[in-house]
Every structure is written in structure tokens, then in C-alpha cells.
Amino acid sequence: AQSVTQLDSHVSVSEGTPVLLRCNYSSSYSPSLFWYVQHPNKGLQLLLKYTSAATLVKGINGFEAEFKKSETSFHLTKPSAHMSDAAEYFCVVSSSGTYKYIFGTGTRLKVLA
């Protein structure tokens, strides 16, 4: 069985400070992991994906995530937050080679000026 837990429903950071959005997963098989972002009234956009290649994955807009098998984590980070990063972020797990996406409950990121 697969599951994903996003540890924070809301995160607030000041502009220019680091961002950390936490995600833990459970998967019986080799997982594929994704982070998606959803801006207000917009569709989901893929930020980055892990598919068993490099454990440190770089995505768009300066985001990156590190796959840590021992900790079953896939936390999303960014060195310096920008106002335009304010959005909802979803961590997703999928067993490699299958179609089924299991979504986390989302983390709403607020960026303070």
C-alpha cells in the first residue's frame, strides 16, 4: 500500500528566507515521487520528480528535493522564497511503472513581504 503525509498544512516564511515543505511517504515498491504546485484558480504544475536516478532532484523555479530512503522522506526546499511562490504544494507518490497517484493533503505556503 502507498501513502503520503505532508507534515504541515500551512507554512509561512518571509520573502528571501529558505522554504522547507515536508513530505513522508510509504510505499511497498520502488516509488516515484513528485511535487506539484497549484496557484489560485490554476491547474497543478509539476515542480520536480524523483524516479530512482539521482537522489537530489532539481526542479523549476529554484526548488529541489532530496529522496532519503532511510527516512522515507522527500522534502521540498528552496534557498530563498519569492512572493510568487505563494501557492499550495502537493507531494505525490506513485509506484514505479503504475499509473496511480496518491496525493498528500497539501501544504499552503504563505510568503510575507
Partner 1 sequence: GAGVSQSPSNKVTEKGKDVELRCDPISGHTALYWYRQSLGQGLEFLIYFQGNSAPDKSGLPSDRFSAERTGGSVSTLTIQRTQQEDSAVYLCASSFQTTTYNEQFFGPGTRLTVL
Residue ranges binding partner 1 (CB under 8 A): 32, 34, 36, 41-46, 49, 51-52, 90, 94, 96-101, 103-106
CB of 90 to partner 1, least distance (A): 7
CB of 78 to partner 1, least distance (A): 21
- Return the closest-CA partner of residue 11 out of 95, 88, 113, 91: 88
Euclidean distance between CA atoms 20 and 3, whole angstroms: 20
Question: Which residues contact residue 88 at a Cβ distance below 8 angstroms, ignoring those fewer than 6 apart?
Answer: 37, 38, 106, 107, 108, 109
CB of 17 to partner 1, least distance (A): 28
* C-beta closer to partner 1: residue 26 or 105: 105
* C-beta closer to partner 1: residue 86 or 102: 102
Per DSSP, what are the bridge partners of residue 57? 65
